[in-house]
Amino acid sequence: MPQMIKNDTLPAEQSVYAARAAALAVRKYGENPKACVVTFGCQQNVSDSERMKGMLVQSGYTLTDDISEAHFILFNTCAVREHAEDRVYGNIGTTKALKHANPEIIVAVCGCMAQRQSVADRIKRSYPYVDMVFGTQVQHRLPEFIYKRLSGGGRIFELSLDNGEIPENVPIKRDGTFKGWLPVMYGCDNFCTYCIVPYVRGRERSREPERIIEEAREMIASGFKDITLLGQNVNSYGKGEPHGVDFAELLKRINALDGDFRIRFMTSHPKDCTKRLIDTIRDCEKVSSHLHLPFQSGSDRILKRMNRRYTRESYLELINYAKDNIPDLSLTSDIIVGFPGETYEDFCETLSLVKEVEFSSLFTFIYSPREGTPAAAMEDPITREEKGRWFSELLRAQEDIAKKNITKHIGKTYRVLCDGFSQREGFMTGHNSGTTEIEFRGGAEMLGKFVNVCVKEYDGALYGTVTE
Closer residue to ligand SAH in complex, CB, 29/186: 186
Q: What is the largest CA-CA distance in the chain?
A: 65
Position among 21, 22, 88, 112 found at the interface with ligand F3S (CB under 6 A):
112
Q: Which residues contact 342 (CB under 8 A, 6 or more apart)?
A: 297, 299, 302, 367, 382
Among 238, 294, 340, 434, binds ligand SAH (CB under 6 A): 294
Q: Which does 79 bind (CB under 5 to 8 A by kind): ligand F3S, ligand SF4, ligand SAH, none?
A: ligand F3S
Using the rule CB under 6 A, give the single segment among 197-205, 370-378, 422-430, 451-459 that binds ligand F3S: 197-205
Contact between residue 60 and residue 25 where contact means Cβ atoms under 8 Å apart: yes
Among 56, 73, 79, 451, binds ligand F3S (CB under 6 A): 79
Check binding of 422 to ligand F3S (CB under 6 A): no
Partner whose footprint covers residue 198, from ligand SAH, ligand F3S, ligand SF4, none (CB < 5 to 8 Å by kind)? ligand SF4
319 binds ligand SAH (CB under 6 A): no
Rule CB under 6 A: is residue 369 a binding residue for ligand SF4? no
Q: Select from 55, 142, 192, 220 the one that contacts ligand SF4 (CB under 6 A).
A: 192
Q: Which of 177, 190, 222, 368 binds ligand SF4 (CB under 6 A)?
A: 190
Q: Kindly tell me which residue out of 22, 197, 251, 394 binds ligand SAH, with binding defined by CB under 6 A.
A: 197
Cα separations in angstroms, 424 against 413, 439, 460, 462: 21, 9, 11, 12
- In 3D space, the residue among 127, 130, 123, 180 whose CA is nearest the CA of residue 155 turns out to be 130
The 3-state DSSP class for residue 299 equals coil
Contact map string, positions 203 to 242, toward ligand SF4, x by CB under 6 A: -----------------------------xx---------
Q: Give CA–CA dist 371/340, Å, rounded.
A: 14
| C-alpha of 82 from chain center | 18
CA 132 – CA 119 distance, rounded (Å)? 12
The residues with which 38 forms a beta bridge, in sequence order, are: 75
Strands 413-421 and 427-431: antiparallel
CB of 353 to ligand F3S, least distance (A): 23
CB of 288 to ligand SAH, least distance (A): 18
Nearest to 436 by CA among 336, 338, 359: 359
Buried b (16+ CB within 10 A) or exposed e, 7-24: eeebeeebbebbebbbeb
- DSSP label at 381? -
Cα-Cα-Cα-Cα dihedral sign, residues 42, 44, 45, 49: positive
Residue 119 binds ligand SF4, judged by CB under 6 A: no
- φ, ψ of residue 46 in degrees (nearest 5): -60, -45
Q: Rounded to whole angstroms, how far apart are CA atoms 339 and 350?
A: 12
Residue 80 is a binding residue for ligand F3S (CB under 6 A): yes
Residue 81's binding partner among ligand SAH, ligand SF4, ligand F3S, none (Cβ under 5 to 8 angstroms by kind) is ligand SAH
What are the Cα distances from residue 28, in Å, to 21, 53, 191?
10, 20, 45
Output 45 or 299, the one with its CB closest to ligand F3S: 45
Binding mask 416-435 for ligand SAH (x = CB under 6 A): --------------------
Q: Shortest Cβ distance from residue 201 to ligand SF4 (Å)?
A: 8
d(CA 246, CA 235): 8
C-beta of 83 vs 403, nearer to ligand F3S: 83
Identify which of residues 367 and 414 has a Cβ nearer to ligand SAH in the complex.
367
Residue 210: burial class (beta carbons within 10 Å; 0-12, 13-18, 19+)? exposed
Note the residues at the interface with ligand F3S (CB under 6 A). 41-42, 44-45, 78-80, 112, 196-197, 200-201
Note the residues at the interface with ligand SAH (CB under 6 A). 80-81, 194-195, 197, 232-233, 267, 269, 294, 296, 334, 336, 365, 367-368, 370
Note the residues at the interface with ligand SF4 (CB under 6 A). 188, 190-192, 195, 197-198, 232-233, 269
